[in-house]
Amino acid sequence: MPIPRPDPQGARVIAHVDLDCFYVQVEQRKQPELRGLPTAVVQYNSWKGGGLIAVSYEARKFGVKRSMRGDEAKMVCPEIQLVQVPIARDKADLNTYRNAGSEVVSILSRKGRCERASIDEVYLDLTDAAELMLSETPLEILEDFDEDVLKSHVLGIAVDEDKEKNVRGWLCRSGADHRDKLLACGAIIVAKLRSEVLKETEFTCSAGIAHNKMLAKLASGMHKPAQQTIVPSSAVKELLAYLPVKKMKQLGGKLGSSLLNDLGVHTVGDLLQFSEEKLQELYGINTGTWLWNISRGINGDEVEGRILPKSHGCGKTFPGPKALKTTSSVDHWLNQLCEELSERIQSDLDQHKRVAQTLTLHARAFKVNDMESRKKFPSKSCPLRYGISKIQEDAKKLFDSGLREFLGSESNVWKVTSLSLTASKLLDTPLGTSSILRFFQGKISSSAASDGTQKGIQDDHPSASLGCKGDIVSVYNDGQKLSVAEEYGKGNDINFQDTRVNRLHSPNRKSKEKGKDSITRYFSCGNSSSRKQAFDGLNVTNQQGGGCEVDERGSADDRTHRQTDDSWTLNAENVDPSVIDELPMEIQQEVRGWLRSSKRINSAKGGSSIFHYFSSINN
């Protein structure tokens, strides 16, 4: 559901930068002899020459489109160069494209807050940089404009033969208001960034410069390739008056259809005839206000300051005769996907110290004897455990659980047409704590998933306590864009509600919610045996020489703590503080809390029991 945010006080300068025919440019950089030639990147399958996923602007002139297959493209443009996407593990390998996108992001982030919105799209908040430029250089006296700035398209100004002169006039006109002056500075900064991108990466990109994200995004696609478009406030009304509703982000689906069919609204500007109250009455308070806002070009969404992906995903589709019909074929592909996912989350952990918390499986399937059935294969989530074999084990359990639910009591023959896995809820780990965080994940997971039961597996829909919206996967027919769209949160449709993991990691949560928060809540949930199980891995060793060891060893076999019946003895005096210092801050606070209580109990009774401590919290 769209969330209405009023434009903040004070003008902002926001840019949306989008690389041109991105995969083609990456392939042309690898093979420079392809530059300037009509080129397309094709999906790896060989049916009718493979599906086109990116088309160069030279090929577009011949009428080549992304929806075509290679053979069809050759018919409309015989000289087209078809390049295959790289393949790894029998599926498309997008790493080259991801890395190329990261090169661009690192350049664009030089001038302001930067949000990586997809594999090839970035939002920039250039407000501070523009204000600074304006305070240092009055635009009226500027003479030396970069050629790229003068080629900008400024919506609303006359486009006659001397366009560059008009643009120059707009950029440095003396009567301009502050908002327009900021946009002019934004345009100068963006043109410079684009030329740096070209020089350093050889990629061209296009950009929109406006006062908010929504308008910047609309503008970046208006003039492509290698151009930029500026949206002054005075041009917004006309821009929206002609903008078909379906072109607006979040109006492509049911909401847009309802506007069209139920209200006869064809363009975003048509919405202006409805009062806010009327729109709220028809579509609810939030959506109503959001519609009222967008029809006036109001959008207060912040540029998020995120240059790393929100999640990692990989998927594969099995169209037509390729549909998977046996559990062994599903297992085979899940194993491949898990290997890729594991590699990617491990590299994220190594490079960026981020730990993924949630594993989600999405699938598409149908019942062979019940083709009419509209029932969807439910998406399933569970806490993510690191290590290929653990991810594989959990992914299979998620699939089995989904399949059971999908089939219900019927023993139907099924076919799976797409599989995808997502690792989400990527949290930063303070330096040195990754092993401990992984330990916590491992424990949550093992108590949830590896005991052979369905514990810990969650339906993946908004009402579930863990996971993301069931409809986040918009599977492109090649299964490729799926992962990247998801990764960078394209479309704002990832809505995680991972309450359990938040309890462990969110520093903002009050840690004393009647004594049942974060670790203690986790440990104290369930019956005493699950509490015991949860605590097993924490390997609290009451060593002879003193010291409390907290490490990853957690299996029942290598337990080194002393256990008597259902209690663990802990001598708080002997706890090595450096071990606690390794924990994330919020967990440190809690562990220190335990120890304080433990000391109090110790001094009162001459001994303590963590297990009893947890029991007392629970009671």
DSSP SS3 for 593: helix
Among 17, 34, 54, 494, binds ligand TTP (CB under 6 A): 54
The Cα–Cα gap between 434 and 523 comes to 20
Task: Give the residue, chosen from 213, 224, 380, 521, that forms a contact with ligand TTP under the rule CB under 6 A.
Answer: 224
Binding footprint of ligand TTP, residue count (CB under 6 A): 16
Buried b (16+ CB within 10 A) or exposed e, 42-73: bbbbeeebbbbbbbbebbbeeebeeebbbeeb
Alpha-carbon distance of 270 to 279, in angstroms, equals: 12
Binder among 2, 11, 22, 265 for ligand TTP (CB under 6 A): 22
User: Using CA atoms, how far apart are residues 582 and 565, in angstroms rounded to an integer?
Assistant: 30
Taking the complex as a whole, the smallest distance from the CB of residue 22 to ligand TTP amounts, in Å, to: 4
Q: Among the candidate windows 19-27, 194-202, 305-313, 400-408, which touches ligand TTP by CB under 6 A?
A: 19-27
By the rule CB under 6 A, 23 interacts with ligand TTP: yes
What type of residue sits at position 574?
N
Interaction pattern, residues 176-215, with ligand TTP; x per rule: CB under 6 A: ----------------------------------------
Nearest to 213 by CA among 18, 17, 14: 14
Nearer to ligand TTP, 23 or 377 (CB): 23
CB-wise, 249 or 516, nearer to ligand TTP? 249
Handedness of CA 162, 165, 167, 170 (dihedral sign): negative
Catalytic choice (121, 340, 486, 590): 121
Task: Write the CA distances from 240 to 236, 273, 278, 280, 417, integer angstroms.
Answer: 6, 13, 20, 20, 39
**519 binds ligand TTP, rule: CB under 6 A:** no
- Closest distance to ligand TTP from the beta carbon of 92 (Å): 8
146, 195 contact by CB (below 8 A): yes
Q: Nearer to ligand TTP by C-beta: 57 or 166? A: 57
Amino acid identity at 570: L
**Binding letters toward ligand TTP, positions 430-469, x by CB under 6 A:** ----------------------------------------
If one asks whether residue 120 binds ligand TTP (CB under 6 A), the answer comes out as: yes
Return the residue of 40, 53, 449, 587 that touches ligand TTP, per CB under 6 A.
Answer: 53
Q: Choose the binding region for ligand TTP from 15-23, 356-364, 426-434, 435-443 (rule: CB under 6 A).
A: 15-23
End-to-end CA, the chain:
40
Q: Which of 116, 312, 362, 481 binds ligand TTP (CB under 6 A)?
A: 481
State the Cα–Cα distance between residues 560 and 606, nearest whole angstrom: 23
Helices H, strands E: what count in the chain? Answer: 23, 18
Binding flag, residue 123, ligand TTP (CB under 6 A): no
Instruction: Check binding of 21 to ligand TTP (CB under 6 A).
Output: yes
For the bound state, the minimum distance from the C-beta of residue 20 to ligand TTP, rounded and expressed in Å, comes to: 4
3-state secondary structure 190-231: HHHHHHHHHHHHCCCEEEEEECCHHHHHHHHCCCCCCCEEEC
Tokens 């975003």 belong to residue? 268
CB 505 within 8 A of CB 586: yes
Spatial distance between the Cα atoms of 208 and 216, rounded to a whole number of angstroms: 4
- Centroid of chain to Cα 209: 23
Give the shortest CB-360-to-ligand TTP separation in angstroms. 21
Which SS3 state, helix, strand or coil, does residue 10 take?
Answer: coil
The answer to whether residue 476 forms part of the interface with ligand TTP (CB under 6 A) is yes
Asked if 594 is part of the footprint of ligand TTP (rule: CB under 6 A), the reply reads: no
Q: Closer CB to ligand TTP, residue 92 or residue 444?
A: 92
Q: How far is the CB of 183 from ligand TTP (least distance, A)?
A: 23
Is 121 noted as a catalytic residue in this protein?
A: yes
Q: Which is nearer to ligand TTP, 40 or 501 (CB)?
A: 40
Q: Smaller CB distance to ligand TTP: residue 22 or 145?
A: 22
List residues near ligand TTP by CB under 6 A.
18-23, 53-54, 119-120, 224-225, 476, 478, 480-481
Q: Give the catalytic positions in this structure.
A: 121
